[in-house]
């Protein structure tokens, strides 16, 4: 007979027959060998935990809320042992604490011993009063007790359990409203030996089979991966660990085959996107941060090359306050370059709706936090999950020291594929930043071969660059990177058939691109418009209304506090005011998170947000009252009057004239010049100087307003416009008297409420689809109409409309003396399901583009559907106004709290209310009040005063009772109406300085002279962080005689000036 030894040198070679492998059979064979479901009695996965032992004790405390550790630990001492009992954890959002005692069996020597816990929901392991690691039912269920046991050790752990999953507790679906009555079971609680050798081999096989499944089948490397995995299975005896070394050698030989120099390089950064509130409330996010970040810190101890990028200063502050020991560990990892703060903003805010000043404060407060806590400013702005990005963000980013931007959300575009992954993004002023969209199209990669290959396949800069980023780690609901992800990526560092992978972070990636590729990159100008989630401009109207009102309240409070500092020189009082303002700003900015302000959150979050707004409003209003009274006393040198008198305050940098309601109980000085309105209030026509104060003096308008009733219409007329209103509240005509033009299209009517069916494809609160436009239904049932005010200062009619059996509208249509617009004060009782309410105005204008107010400027968008890019913008975001103009004439719509607009052909619409049912089934149900206006104008937008009127409409003049009186005083005036002095505030650092923030509003080069009556010592340009350059330009020339200085602007440029006061 033939000898067993063969020329191959392997015993029994003749009797081993190579098999022509069937791909599916071989693949599934390998998959079953590492499965945690199939054949675990004989496969490799079944040997991962070869020995287990039960806990020695388990106590359970059902807490009354999210209680601190000390309270829970004390309560657990009094609890009975429930080991072996059926533990049911609930209901939703409840908190449960467990005291777990365990002993390592004496025979477990030199073993890696873990505590295993699976409560099917989120949990945190505590030891010695410190949070150590998060646990998540099904995905992270192990906590290492010791990697080298001595046998016989005892451990005491506390487990804090939150009765919710990573994505909350949606009833029957992730984004559905929360189910308040979910219960979870404790399905695993024990100690076990974790076999490191089995684990390493499992990862090898997982990577091999992933390569076989995801590489193109016609590539040799895919077949090599499959055959290598099959060889490993052949060589492996799960019950004989001596076979493992050969298995590892087979895999290593495959992994040691290296890439060429031209391969794409992936910079892999750990990440854990935690929505600050979404399908869970703010309070649960605090614990999500601790669970996720503690797990990350544990991984950093095991993997020194692992780097983790983390944004949102608010979340850092929460951990600092609630988990100080964990925060100290994080600071140590930051110092070692592993835990990388990024983003620079207080929160990952919405990218469309906040005002320009809100954007600035997001960065100022966020960057100052990072500098104070970690010693540096962030250089990259992270906003991976926001629903579009304002065209002014590049300039604002540059102003706070940021020149790099990372997101991926535009990969969600429904219509057009965004053409770049790495590019230069240029804003409307010409400022630019280096932008990157990770081509795996996710910020929650699992570190798989599939995502690594997708990164290369999707990369749109091929030929211009060969490097990109991959963000890996469970996210949205937290969780973060896992050991499996790190082990997979570590093995992919340099393997033939895959791109090169390196553990890194964003600054290293951006630096490499700047050094190697910057000159080859394409440029994108203007906004980054997301072709999805357009309903977020409208959903949760009350949140958006409170945001707009709050922004103007802070604008006034900043102004008055700064003037007080300049007038008084009291730096101690200013410091106290700043310390009072900062927490209010932080709370307000937190509500601008990208699932709160857009309205894509559960009902619990909506309630939280509205409570925050209420608290901020009350405290800010109280501060405003105190600061305003102090300002009046200082301004008028404490000249007291015999009785309280009204002062009018104007915080805008232009003179204002308006009909104003006097405060209740106020006695008019000239009753003959006032009008008692239908609600019993008294109206007066008043003037006020720019950015200043003057005593109230009733005046007569240039021309009184008149109103008379025709057969089927009411006619209202003032100095500037003449309107015809039908007896059902429709605008039949709006004549601009100076030009003689009718703003309303001939044969059409404006102020037409229209109802649309609003059933998106999936994302209910987020999306309005283009096909909603095909379901237009006018609201036509008028239940009452009457004239209620007849001049001479105000004329108005009241109209009531029925939307449905459950919903109705009450509206006042108002024309004030000398006003340039017709004003609609609207109250809606809204109880609909999947309906969208808009108001439309067909105007007699022809233009290919409409303009919309945005942060520190405006933007043009198409009014047609010529291309798919045009058609995708059927619903857009704007702030205070939208304008459609042709040569010589135009029409603007003003809004005091709405953000959704559309202008298609010549029909202008404002989006008013939606009625989605997920994730908040009561979203927008109830009572709403808001206002909008239509303003016809001669000339182009820039010649019309629309920008100023947008501010005026949103923020009426303030009347305040004062015990002081004196001459009117304007603190700032500007010579050029194209420049807006947006913000006057106290300097963050310099206690003797005031900060002035200007912007050019028309979109052209401009020069303005600024006059101030405040005491000026010096003036310097500074960045948005209020820092003067280390090599500063010469101070701004200030003429002490005229009290003036000049500034020169580029189009849409923001200029910030630090004014040191002569105290």
Q: How far is CA 680 from CA 662, 674, 676, 959, in A?
A: 11, 12, 6, 18
Q: How far is CA 1034 from CA 398, 545, 1031, in A?
A: 21, 43, 9
CA atoms of 366 and 632, how far apart (whole Å): 33
9: helix, strand or coil:
coil
Check if the beta carbon of residue 31 is closer than 8 Å to that of residue 209.
yes
CA atoms of 58 and 62, how far apart (whole Å): 13
The DSSP letter of residue 483 is H
Residues 717, 721, 722, 726: is their CA dihedral positive or negative? negative
State yes or no: is 385 an active-site residue.
yes
HEC profile of 694-711: EECCCECCCCCCEEEECC
CA atoms of 665 and 373, how far apart (whole Å): 51
Q: Give the DSSP per-residue string, 629-675.
A: HHHHHHHTTT-EEEEEEEEEEE-SSS-EEEEEEPPTTPPPS-GGGEE
* 976 token code pair: 């050029």
* 268 token code pair: 């892999």
CA atoms of 221 and 296, how far apart (whole Å): 34
State the first-to-last Cα distance of the chain, in angstroms, to the nearest integer: 110
Q: HSE of 650 in the Cβ direction (CA atoms, 13 Å)? A: 30
Comparing CA positions, the residue from 388, 808, 360, 778 lying closest to residue 589 is 360
Q: How far is CA 575 from CA 59, 564, 578, 988, in A?
A: 50, 12, 5, 9
Residue with the two structure tokens 């990028």: 309
Number of neighbouring beta carbons within 10 Å of residue 727: 17
390: helix, strand or coil:
coil
In DSSP terms, 883 is beta-bridged to: 851, 892
CA atoms of 440 and 408, how far apart (whole Å): 9
Comparing CA positions, the residue from 205, 196, 192, 198 lying closest to residue 237 is 198
Q: Which of 118, 195, 275, 385 is catalytic?
A: 385
Comparing CA positions, the residue from 128, 142, 126, 122 lying closest to residue 189 is 142
Residues 951, 954, 956, 957: is their CA dihedral positive or negative? negative
CA atoms of 995 and 987, how far apart (whole Å): 5
In DSSP terms, 708 is beta-bridged to: 715
Check if the beta carbon of residue 779 is closer than 8 Å to that of residue 755.
yes
Element (H, E) at 787: strand 781-790
Check if the beta carbon of residue 494 is closer than 8 Å to that of residue 539.
no
How are the residues of the chain apportioned to helix, strand and coil, as percentages rounded to the nearest 5? 25, 30, 40
Burial, 107: exposed, middle or buried (Cβ in 10 Å; 0-12, 13-18, 19+)?
exposed
CA atoms of 242 and 244, how far apart (whole Å): 5
Check if the beta carbon of residue 590 is closer than 8 Å to that of residue 312.
no
Contacts of 20 (CB under 8 A, 6+ apart): none
Which residues carry out catalysis? 385
């Amino acid at each position: 007979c033939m000898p067993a030894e063969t020329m191959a040198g392997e015993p029994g070679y003749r009797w081993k027959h190579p098999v022509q492998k069937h791909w599916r059979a071989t693949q599934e064979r390998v998959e079953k060998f590492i499965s945690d479901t199939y054949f675990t009695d004989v496969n490799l996965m079944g040997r991962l935990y070869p020995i287990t032992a039960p806990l020695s004790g388990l106590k359970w405390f059902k807490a009354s809320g999210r209680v601190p550790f000390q309270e829970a630990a004390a309560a657990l001492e009094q609890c009975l042992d429930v080991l072996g009992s059926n533990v049911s954890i609930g209901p939703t959002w409840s908190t449960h604490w467990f005291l777990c005692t365990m002993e390592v069996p004496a025979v477990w020597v030199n073993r890696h011993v873990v505590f295993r816990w699976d409560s099917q929901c989120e949990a945190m392991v505590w030891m010695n009063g410190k949070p150590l690691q998060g646990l998540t039912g099904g995905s992270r269920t192990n906590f290492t007790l010791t990697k080298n046991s001595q046998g016989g050790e005892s451990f005491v752990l506390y487990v804090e359990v939150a009765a919710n999953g990573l994505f909350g507790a949606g009833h029957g679906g992730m984004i559905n409203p929360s189910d308040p009555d979910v219960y979870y079971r404790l399905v695993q609680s024990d100690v076990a030996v974790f076999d490191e050798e089995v684990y390493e081999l499992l990862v090898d096989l997982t990577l091999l089979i992933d390569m076989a499944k995801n590489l193109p089948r016609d590539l040799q490397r895919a077949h090599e991966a499959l055959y290598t995995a099959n060889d490993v299975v052949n060589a492996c005896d799960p019950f004989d660990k001596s076979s493992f070394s050969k298995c590892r050698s087979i895999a290593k030989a495959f992994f040691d085959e290296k890439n060429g120099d031209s391969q794409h390089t992936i910079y892999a950064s750990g990440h854990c996107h935690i929505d600050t509130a979404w399908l869970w409330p703010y309070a649960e996010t605090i614990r999500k941060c601790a669970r996720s970040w503690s797990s990350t810190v544990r991984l950093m101890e095991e993997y020194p090359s692992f780097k983790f990028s983390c944004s949102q200063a608010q979340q850092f502050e929460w951990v600092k306050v609630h988990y100080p020991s964990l925060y100290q560990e994080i600071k140590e990892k930051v110092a070692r370059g592993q835990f990388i703060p990024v983003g620079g903003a207080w929160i990952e805010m919405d990218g469309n709706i906040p005002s320009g000043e809100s954007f600035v404060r997001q960065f100022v407060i966020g960057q100052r936090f990072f500098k104070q806590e970690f010693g540096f400013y962030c250089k990259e702005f992270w906003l991976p999950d926001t629903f579009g990005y304002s065209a002014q963000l590049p300039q604002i980013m540059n102003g706070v020291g940021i020149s790099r931007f990372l997101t991926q959300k535009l990969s969600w575009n429904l219509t057009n594929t965004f053409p770049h992954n790495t590019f230069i993004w240029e804003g409307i002023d010409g400022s630019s930043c280096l932008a990157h969209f990770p081509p795996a199209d996710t910020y929650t990669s699992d570190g798989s071969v599939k995502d690594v290959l997708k990164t290369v396949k999707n990369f749109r800069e091929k030929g211009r660059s060969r490097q990109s980023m991959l963000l890996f780690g469970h996210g949205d609901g937290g969780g973060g990177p896992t050991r499996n992800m790190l082990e997979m990526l570590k093995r992919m560092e340099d393997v033939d058939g895959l791109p090169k992978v390196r553990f890194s972070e964003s600054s290293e990636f951006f630096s490499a691109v700047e050094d190697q590729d910057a000159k080859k990159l394409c440029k994108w100008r203007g906004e980054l418009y997301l072709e999805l989630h357009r309903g977020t401009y409208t959903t949760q109207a009350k949140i958006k209304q409170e945001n707009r009102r709050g922004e103007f309240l802070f604008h006034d409070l900043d102004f008055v506090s700064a003037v007080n500092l300049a007038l008084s020189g009291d730096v101690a009082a200013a410091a106290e005011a700043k310390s009072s303002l900062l927490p209010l700003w932080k709370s307000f900015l937190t509500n601008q998170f990208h699932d709160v302000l857009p309205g894509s959150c559960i009902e619990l979050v909506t309630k939280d947000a509205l409570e925050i707004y209420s608290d901020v409003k009350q405290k800010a209003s109280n501060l405003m009252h105190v600061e305003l009274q102090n300002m009046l006393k200082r301004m008028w040198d404490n000249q007291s009057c015999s009785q309280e008198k009204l002062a009018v305050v104007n915080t805008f940098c232009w003179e204002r004239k308006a009909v104003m309601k006097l405060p209740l109980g106020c006695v008019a000085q000239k009753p003959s010049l006032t009008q008692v309105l239908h609600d019993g209030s008294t109206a007066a026509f008043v003037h006020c100087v720019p950015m200043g104060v003057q005593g109230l003096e009733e005046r007569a308008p240039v021309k009184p307003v008149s109103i008379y009733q025709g057969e089927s219409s009411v006619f209202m007329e003032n100095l500037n416009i003449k309107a015809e209103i039908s007896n059902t509240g429709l605008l039949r005509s709006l004549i601009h008297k100076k030009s003689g033009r009718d703003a309303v299209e001939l044969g059409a009517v404006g102020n037409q409420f229209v109802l649309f069916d609003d059933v998106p494809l999936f994302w209910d609160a987020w999306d309005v689809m283009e096909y909603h436009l095909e379901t237009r239904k006018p609201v036509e049932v008028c239940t009452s109409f009457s004239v209620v005010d007849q001049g001479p200062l105000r004329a108005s009619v009241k109209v009531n409309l029925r939307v449905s059996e459950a919903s109705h509208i009450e509206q006042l249509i108002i024309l004030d003396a000398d006003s340039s617009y017709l004003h609609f004060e609207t109250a809606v009782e809204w109880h609909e399901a999947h309906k969208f309410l808009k108001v439309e105005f067909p105007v007699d204008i022809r233009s290919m583009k409409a303009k919309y107010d945005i942060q520190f400027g405006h933007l043009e968008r198409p009014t047609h559907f010529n291309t798919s890019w045009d058609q995708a913008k059927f619903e857009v975001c704007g702030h205070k106004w939208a304008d459609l103009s042709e040569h010589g004439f135009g029409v603007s719509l003003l809004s005091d709290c709405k953000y959704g607009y559309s202008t298609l052909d010549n029909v202008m619409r404002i989006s008013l209310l939606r009625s989605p049912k997920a994730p908040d089934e009561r979203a927008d149900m109830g009572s709403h009040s808001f206002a909008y206006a239509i303003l016809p104008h001669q000339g182009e937008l820039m010649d019309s005063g629309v920008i100023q009127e947008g501010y005026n409409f949103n923020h009426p003049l303030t009347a305040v009772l004062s015990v002081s009186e004196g001459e009117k005083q304007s603190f700032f005036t500007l010579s050029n109406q194209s420049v807006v002095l947006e913000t006057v505030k106290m300097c963050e650092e310099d206690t003797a300085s005031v900060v002035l923030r200007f912007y050019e509003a028309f979109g052209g080069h401009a020069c303005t002279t600024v006059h101030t009556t405040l005491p000026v010592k010096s003036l310097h340009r500074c960045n948005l962080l209020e820092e003067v350059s280390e090599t500063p330009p010469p101070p701004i020339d200030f003429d002490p005689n005229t009290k003036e200085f000049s500034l020169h602007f580029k189009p849409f440029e923001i200029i910030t000036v630090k004014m040191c006061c002569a105290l």
